Each structure stands twice: as structure tokens, then as C-alpha cells.
């Protein structure tokens, strides 16, 4: 089998699975959205990276010595409809790399990442990826059963919190946090992020 080391070797209009994805050996970061290759934005800027590190560290400290684990990009998350059972690699057609995710079911973790939906995903918007995060991933995360989804707007210094209730297949906007609000997780109500201190140094 020919090694795939350049994106130019692939037909970007074709459909692929996770079984294909794990064989690729090129440097470009990509995601797989319903079988289609999606190029990821260039390396995040300093503001994005600072927010990611601060949020990740606060979540890590909160969940230390608990069952749930925190992961930050690059970290592969394989998604599929939550009504389906565990899928073989050839049947998985969506692989994403959320900025931050919290996973409480450790049976979903393997050497490759997460196989199934995290409990909570946080995406920090960059100017180049806002449409994908707001529209495409919003629908994907709801479909796959991610219980809570935060969108962080670095320049507006706002956090939008979306929540799935029961068997809902679409998110409800639970809260929009700004200024000196404390953003409180829906799934983990004992965890709060103070926006004033979060955005202070970024």
C-alpha cells in the first residue's frame, strides 16, 4: 500500500473513514467530518493558546483525583450517532480535535484518543474557524450526544453555553456569560470559571 504523506495524494472530494485517517502520515492537521477531509486552521494565535492553557489547567485542577479526565488538542475524538453502538474504524467517518474536552467514561479512551462522545467540549474560536465551530460542529456534537458545549469568544470575552436535555438532538442555549460573570458548568455544577480573571491576562 502506498504511503500517504501529502494531502495532494488524496481526492479531497472523496469520502474517507477513520481506518483511512490513521494511515495518513502527513504533517497537515486535518479533521474528518462525515467522511470529508477538513483542513484545520493554521496554528492558533497567542490569545487562543493562552486561553486554552488557562482553561485546561483550571479544569485539570478541578478533576484531579476524580473519575473524569481532561484532554486538550491535538487529541482525536471519534464521533457517531449516540443511538449506535461501538463502531469499527471503517464505519467511523467523523474525527475531530476539540480544543478541550472532559471525558468521564474511561471505557471510551484508548491509545488513539476518545471513541465516542465526551461529556463536555470547549471550543475557543479563532477568526478562521468560527463558521465550522458555530455551525458544523454544533450539529455534530449534539447528534453524537455531547452533553455540554461551550463556545469561547476571545475578542468579545464571551462564553456561550449549550446544553442537551434528555434525548434532545439539538442544543439549547443555556447561558451567555460576559464581564465579571461566573460561568458555571451544567454537567459539573460545582465548577465555575470567573470570566474577569480568565480574560484578564490574555
The pLDDT of residue 1 is: 60
Instruction: Give the integer Cα–Cα distance in Å for 136 and 138.
Output: 5
Those residues whose C-beta lies under 8 Å from the C-beta of residue 74, and which sit 6 or more positions away, are: 29, 97
Q: Which of the residue ranges 85-89, 98-102, 172-176, 178-182 would you say has the lowest mean pLDDT? A: 85-89
pLDDT in tens, 33-78: 999 998 887 767 888 899 999 999 999 999 999 999 999 999 999 9
Does 176 have pLDDT greater than 80? Answer: yes
Assigned CATH topology for domain 46-198: tt1808, chain A (3.90.1570)
For residues 100 and 34, the answer to whether their CB atoms sit within 8 Å is: no
For residues 150 and 161, the answer to whether their CB atoms sit within 8 Å is: yes
N- to C-terminal Cα separation, the chain: 47
pLDDT in tens, 79-111: 988 776 667 778 899 999 999 999 999 999 999
Instruction: Give the integer Cα–Cα distance in Å for 186 and 162.
Output: 9
Helix (H) or strand (E) holding 132: none
- The pTM (predicted TM-score) of the whole model is 0.93
Q: What's the CA angle centered on 116, arms 110 and 117, to 5 degrees?
A: 125
Instruction: Give the integer Cα–Cα distance in Å for 17 and 50.
Output: 33
pLDDT in tens, 109-167: 999 999 999 999 999 988 766 666 678 899 999 999 999 999 999 999 999 999 998 88
In which band, very low, low, confident or very high, does the pLDDT at 2 lie, cut at 50, 70 and 90?
A: confident
Domain spans of the chain?
Answer: 7-39, 46-198
Helices of type H across the chain: 18-21, 46-63, 130-131, 138-144, 195-198
- Count CB atoms within 10 A of the CB of residue 118: 29
Amino acid at each position: 500500500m502506498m504511503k500517504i504523506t501529502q494531502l495532494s495524494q488524496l481526492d479531497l472530494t472523496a469520502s474517507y473513514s477513520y481506518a483511512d485517517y490513521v494511515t495518513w502520515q502527513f504533517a497537515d492537521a486535518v479533521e474528518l467530518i462525515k467522511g470529508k477531509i477538513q483542513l484545520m486552521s493554521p496554528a492558533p494565535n497567542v490569545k487562543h493558546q493562552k486561553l486554552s492553557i488557562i482553561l485546561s489547567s483550571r479544569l485539570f485542577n478541578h478533576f484531579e483525583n476524580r473519575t473524569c479526565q481532561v484532554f486538550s488538542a491535538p487529541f482525536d475524538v471519534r464521533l457517531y450517532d449516540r443511538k449506535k453502538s461501538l463502531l469499527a474504524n471503517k464505519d467511523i467517518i467523523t474525527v475531530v480535535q476539540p480544543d478541550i474536552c472532559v471525558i468521564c467514561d474511561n471505557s471510551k479512551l484508548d491509545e488513539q484518543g476518545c471513541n465516542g462522545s465526551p461529556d463536555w467540549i470547549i471550543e475557543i474560536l479563532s477568526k478562521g474557524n468560527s463558521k465550522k465551530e458555530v455551525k458544523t460542529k454544533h450539529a455534530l456534537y449534539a447528534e453524537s450526544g455531547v452533553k455540554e458545549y461551550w463556545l469561547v469568544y476571545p475578542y468579545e470575552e464571551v462564553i456561550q453555553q449549550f446544553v442537551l436535555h434528555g434525548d434532545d438532538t439539538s442544543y439549547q442555549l443555556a447561558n451567555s456569560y460576559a464581564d465579571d460573570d461566573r460561568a458555571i458548568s451544567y454537567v459539573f455544577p460545582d465548577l465555575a470559571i470567573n470570566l474577569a480573571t480568565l480574560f484578564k491576562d490574555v
